[in-house]
């Protein structure tokens, strides 16, 4: 990873303020050969313990330590030359060219940035001297064929990308946003991250460029971050630029607590206003470290001796052993690798016979002679350095070993912020806890690992539910005060509230009327009317062009619905079924009423007068029943009221017998009939005229019918709603219809008992939740839906709403073969009128008899001359009655 560096704009500060610390380093101008050290200028040059002074001090210490160890190159001690670059590649080339032209430079330590290395590496190859970088990390620089003279002790960004991917895997993060600087380091880093992330199924949702010229982020930082589902932000930039990027993020209010930022190295936390400290807490940084922090061996003796020299000559820049910048140690190992290699190169000869230079002042023509074998020595030389084992390969410019990384966490301690080490890793191992066992404090002072994607917790969502029984419907309930109000219920409604409970959003649920077509639902999402629509909405490719769908919430098929044939099971009293109970009761009342009247009307009938009272009552009932069923009886009514009543019974008899026979015939006929179709193949084969098939327009069912059956011809019966479908079927306007299985299975089992389904399901599909494309909460919704499927939540909802076993008694339509009582209620009214007439006639007869009995007075009979009596044997009891009554009256 590119070494931490600072911007070049304070070169004038160097000249006028003169705050650069030179220390008391001894001069090495007398050395016959020198190593060139390239360091980059930084903005915090006044900080005498900054990395600029640290890396320079360790470079000097390495050279002086070689003197102390008696290491020479052909009898000559190595000297040094220092050049400070500005980060501009051409500027670095110019300075290098000048140094090579005026000094016997045999090797270069540096540069610290990749963009300079891309230019200097070909130059050193041309003049045959090695160059070892301690900060250039661009993966492209690993190509040994392209860069034959280049080496580096700092790990490549390929290793850093792998370490970053392992960090994502550790915390189950699956997406991120990358902000990078627009140079070789930034572009190469993004490519390395993208390649490794793709192998680890990690999605880079957005990338943003930090313009190194304008010192600003291209694009709307706040807009892109807040609209993205990802909540992990990776900053792939040098320290100076990373600071500016963080400051932009703080101003845009996208740094903590909703976003977790990961830096590609440490920044100076003192560059930030203390009012931002709480929002900076939780930031992570990943940077390469030395081996001992990861449990690998290092050359501690060499390190201690180097520190001793550093503290001897420049103690004011020594920050303490624990605070030495890791890049400083990479710079030391880069210098030591050159020292050891050149010592081996001239181990058996003196300097003049070992190394020579062409006599020219033009750097491109100047050559170090007899230096070809130095590259082979570097490739094979292995030593234990202060960062770990240093060993190069013939196939790559990178170290074979020594890739170690550390994760630091920004935490607040009272009024200060510090980077606290929390995790360590090697290039081939996973992240492990740091030896200090520090916990990670996440943004917002939380100890809970962030999910890595946008949280929907507390967000109000406008959710539409499509009105379809039983997915969504209104049910009237009473509140605690007894007031009636409508409540939304159904499969989709229950699912919404399950999602709300699981995900934590606030649901604002609205019922979408049934007359809104399914084809228009995507427009409601596109036009920002709803955030989400739930219901029996089929996932279709044409709909996906406008909106996105969740994972399946209901596995659907299409079913054919028709009128149900009567298939009653006739038992012992099946003969009673043609008439409803109320009608049989009325018939019984007619019989009893008629028998009662006949008993009084026909009391003088010869057949009745001779029998006991019980028998006479039975004969009256028998007369009523026989007359009603048309069978007839063995005696006739003799009185006028009886004959009128009999005519009334005859009227009732004719109508009831005809109705009974017709109804019973219809029921028996329908019970023997068969469904006229048995499946979708019958519809395809034309067994039902297309204009007798109802299709709900604007739905996926219409698309299927046009595609698979009619070949695009709209010659079916168009329906607007599902209720319209049921009504048209029951009224015999259509003979069949096609509908989603869940809808009609519920309807035929719980509402419309005289409708039925035929054939197996066909055209399998899925219902999904509809939401906008690139919706912020897409992933969390899909994860939640999948978790519901694993937890059998959908099965539970289906059992609740789709597996009814009895029809609602007040919702079904009556059997068309049943005879409604209302149809013949007037018949009994007619009978009542006739029976009333008979009663009136009977009363008149009684009154007539009464008045006649008064008219028989004994004035025309002589009291002393008795009338000639009629023989008693010739008179009946009834014939005696008027005489007796008149005699008694007399």
For the segment 504-525, what is each residue's pLDDT rounded down to a tens digit? 999 999 999 988 888 899 999 9
pLDDT of residue 639 exceeding 80, the answer is: no
List the 284-289 sheet strands across, edge first: 216-217, 203-211, 175-181, 232-236, 260-263, 284-289, 404-413, 416-426, 432-433
The model's pTM is 0.61
What CATH number does domain 555-565+676-767 carry, 3.20.20.60, 3.60.90.10, 3.40.190.10, 3.40.50.300?
Answer: 3.40.190.10
Q: Is 176 helix (H, G, I), strand (E, B) or coil?
A: strand
Q: Is 548 helix (H, G, I), strand (E, B) or coil?
A: strand
Q: Is 266 helix (H, G, I), strand (E, B) or coil?
A: coil
For the segment 202-239, what is each residue's pLDDT rounded down to a tens digit? 999 999 999 999 999 999 999 899 888 899 999 999 99
Q: Which residue has the tokens 């994502």?
A: 168
Q: Do 8-154+299-387 and 157-292+405-433 come out as alike in CATH topology?
A: yes
Q: DSSP secondary-structure letter at 768?
A: -
pLDDT of residue 655 exceeding 70, the answer is: yes
Token output for 338: 């050159």
Cross-strand pairs, 464: 510, 533
Cross-strand pairs, 693: 736
Range name among 130-134, 169-173, 575-579, 585-589 with the lowest pLDDT average? 575-579
How distant, in Å, are the alpha carbons of 459, 482, 491 from that of 485? 27, 9, 20
| % residues pLDDT > 90 (the chain) | 50
Taking CB atoms within 8 Å and a gap of at least 24, the contacts of 681-686 are 682/759, 683/560, 683/709, 683/736, 683/738, 684/708, 684/709
Range name among 414-428, 470-484, 508-522, 541-555 with the lowest pLDDT average? 470-484
Residue-range domain boundaries for the chain: 8-154+299-387, 157-292+405-433, 478-553+771-802, 555-565+676-767, 574-673+824-843
CATH superfamily membership of 8-154+299-387: Response regulator (3.40.50.2300)
Most confident of 204-218, 389-403, 681-695: 204-218
CATH number given to 574-673+824-843: 1.10.287
Range name among 441-455, 514-528, 847-861 with the lowest pLDDT average? 847-861
Residue 648 and residue 815: Cα distance in Å, rounded? 30
- Count the Cβ atoms, other than its own, within 10 Å of residue 867: 8
Per-residue pLDDT, 564: 79
CATH superfamily membership of 478-553+771-802: Periplasmic binding protein-like II (3.40.190.10)
Helices (H) and strands (E) in the chain, counts: 28, 30
Q: Looking at the domain 157-292+405-433, which fold is it?
A: Rossmann fold (3.40.50)
For residue 304, give every residue at least 6 positions away whose Cβ sits within 8 Å of its Cβ, in sequence order, or none.
none
């Amino acid at each position: 990873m590119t070494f931490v560096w600072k911007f070049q704009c304070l070169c004038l500060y160097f000249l006028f303020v003169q705050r650069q610390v030179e220390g008391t380093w001894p001069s090495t101008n007398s050395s016959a050969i020198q190593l060139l050290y390239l360091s980059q200028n930084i903005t915090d040059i006044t900080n005498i313990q900054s990395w600029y002074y640290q890396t320079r001090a360790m470079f000097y210490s390495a050279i002086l330590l070689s003197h102390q160890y008696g290491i020479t190159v052909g009898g000559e001690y190595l000297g040094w030359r220092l050049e400070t670059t500005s980060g501009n590649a051409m500027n670095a080339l110019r300075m290098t060219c000048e140094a090579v032209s005026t000094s016997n430079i045999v090797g270069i330590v540096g540069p610290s940035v990749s963009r300079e290395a891309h230019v200097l590496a070909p130059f050193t190859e041309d003049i045959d001297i090695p160059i070892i970088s301690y900060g250039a990390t661009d993966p492209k620089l690993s190509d040994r064929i392209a860069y034959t003279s280049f080496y580096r002790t700092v790990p490549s960004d390929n290793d850093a990308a792998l370490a970053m991917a392992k960090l994502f895997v550790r915390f189950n993060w699956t997406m991120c946003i990358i902000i990078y600087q627009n140079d070789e380091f930034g572009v190469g880093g993004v490519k390395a991250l993208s390649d490794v992330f793709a192998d680890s199924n990690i999605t880079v949702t957005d990338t943003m460029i930090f313009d190194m010229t304008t010192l600003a982020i291209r694009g709307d930082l706040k807009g892109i971050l807040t609209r993205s589902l990802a909540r992990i932000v990776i900053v792939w930039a040098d320290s100076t630029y990373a600071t500016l990027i963080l400051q932009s993020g703080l101003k845009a209010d996208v740094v903590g607590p909703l976003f977790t930022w990961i830096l590609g190295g440490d920044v100076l936390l003192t560059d930030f206003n203390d009012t931002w400290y709480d929002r900076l807490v939780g930031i992570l940084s990943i940077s390469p470290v030395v081996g001992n922090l990861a449990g690998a061996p290092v050359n501690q003796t060499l390190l201690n001796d180097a520190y001793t020299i550093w503290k001897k000559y420049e103690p004011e820049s020594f920050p303490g052993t624990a605070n030495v910048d890791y890049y400083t140690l990479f710079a030391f190992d880069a210098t030591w690798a050159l020292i050891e290699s050149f010592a081996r190169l001239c181990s058996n000869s003196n300097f003049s016979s070992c190394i020579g230079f062409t006599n020219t002042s033009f750097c491109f023509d100047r050559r170090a002679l007899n230096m070809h074998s130095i590259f082979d020595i570097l490739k094979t030389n292995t030593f234990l350095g202060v960062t770990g084992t240093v060993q190069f390969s013939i196939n790559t410019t990178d170290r074979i070993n020594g890739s170690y990384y550390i994760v630091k966490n920004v935490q607040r301690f009272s009024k200060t912020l510090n980077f606290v080490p929390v995790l360590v890793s090697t290039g081939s191992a996973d992240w492990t806890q740091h030896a200090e066992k520090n916990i990670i404090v996440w943004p917002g002072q939380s100890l809970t690992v962030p999910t890595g994607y946008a949280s929907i917790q507390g967000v109000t969502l406008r959710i539409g539910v499509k009105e379809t029984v039983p997915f969504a419907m209104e049910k009237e309930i009473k509140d605690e005060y007894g007031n009636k109000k409508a409540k939304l219920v159904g499969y989709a409604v229950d699912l919404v509230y399950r999602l709300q409970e699981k995900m934590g959003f606030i649901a604002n649920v609205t019922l979408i009327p049934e007359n809104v077509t399914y084809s228009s639902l995507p427009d409601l999402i596109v036009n920002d009317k709803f955030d989400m629509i739930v219901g029996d909405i089929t996932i279709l490719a044409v709909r996906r062009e406008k909106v996105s769908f969740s994972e399946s919430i209901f596995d659907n098929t299409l079913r054919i619905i028709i009128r149900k044939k009567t298939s009653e099971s006739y038992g012992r009293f099946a003969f009673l079924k043609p008439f409803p109970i109320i009608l049989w009761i009325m018939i019984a009342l007619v019989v009893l009423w008629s028998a009662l009247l006949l008993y009084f009307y026909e009391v003088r009938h010869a057949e009745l007068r001779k029998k006991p009272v019980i028998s006479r009552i039975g004969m009256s009932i028998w007369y009523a029943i026989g007359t009603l069923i048309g069978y007839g009886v063995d005696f006739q009514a003799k009185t006028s009221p009886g004959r009128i009543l009999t005519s009334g019974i005859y009227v009732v008899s004719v109508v009831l017998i005809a109705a009974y026979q017709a109804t019973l015939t219809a029921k028996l006929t329908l019970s023997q009939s068969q469904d006229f179709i048995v499946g979708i193949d019958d519809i395809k084969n034309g067994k039902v005229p297309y204009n007798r098939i109802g299709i709900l327009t604007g739905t996926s069912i219409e698309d299927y019918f046009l595609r698979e059956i009619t070949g695009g011809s709209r010659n079916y019966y168009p329906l607007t709603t599902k209720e319209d479908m049921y009504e048209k079927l029951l009224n015999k306007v259509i003979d069949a219809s096609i509908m989603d299985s869940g809808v009609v299975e519920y309807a035929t089992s719980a509402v419309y008992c005289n409708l039925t389904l035929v054939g197996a399901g066909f055209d399998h599909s899925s219902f999904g939740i509809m939401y906008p494309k690139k919706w912020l909460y897409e992933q969390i919704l899909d994860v939640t839906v999948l978790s519901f499927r694993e937890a059998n939540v959908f099965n539970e909802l289906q059992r609740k709403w789709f597996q009814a076993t009895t029809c609602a008694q007040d919702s079904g339509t009556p059997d068309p073969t049943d005879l409604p009582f209302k149809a013949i209620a007037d018949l009994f009214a007619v009978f009542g009128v006739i029976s009333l007439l008979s009663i009136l006639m009977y009363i008149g007869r009684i009154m007539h008899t009464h008045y006649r009995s008064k008219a028989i007075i004994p004035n025309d009979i002589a009291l002393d001359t008795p009338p000639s009596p009629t023989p008693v044997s010739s008179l009946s009891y009834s014939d005696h009655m008027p005489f007796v009554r008149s005699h008694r009256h007399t």
